[in-house]
Amino acid sequence: MLYRLLTGLDDSAFCHKVSAALAQGWTLHEGPVYAFDAAAGVMRCAQAVVKDDHAPYSPEMKLGDQ
């Protein structure tokens, strides 16, 4: 199983990033996490995704290409 943690600002670009991963066969792993970045004054979010069907794991693989 492969694991990725998608992160970004709480905006539509982040939603598109998660949607693109889902379209590539990744599935959500639990719910999103939100945090306020006081230094930048913005909300940030993260969403873990996992994938069972993949090539053999290698530390050099680019998970976004899987």
Reported as a single tens digit per residue, the pLDDT across 1-49 is 899 999 999 999 999 999 999 999 999 999 999 999 999 999 999 999 9
pLDDT of the residue at 61: 83
What is the rounded distance in angstroms from the CA atom of residue 54 to the CA atom of residue 42?
Answer: 35
Res. 66: pLDDT tops 80: no
Strand partners, 34: 45
Query: Which pTM does this prediction carry?
Result: 0.85
* Domain that includes residue 10, residue range: 2-55
Q: Given phi > 0 = left and psi -120 to 50 = alpha, else beta, which region is 37?
A: beta
Judge whether 63 lies within some domain: no
Judge whether 36 lies within some domain: yes
Give residue 64's pLDDT band: very low, low, confident or very high (50, 70, 90): confident
Tally of structural domains, the chain: 1
Judge whether 42 lies within some domain: yes
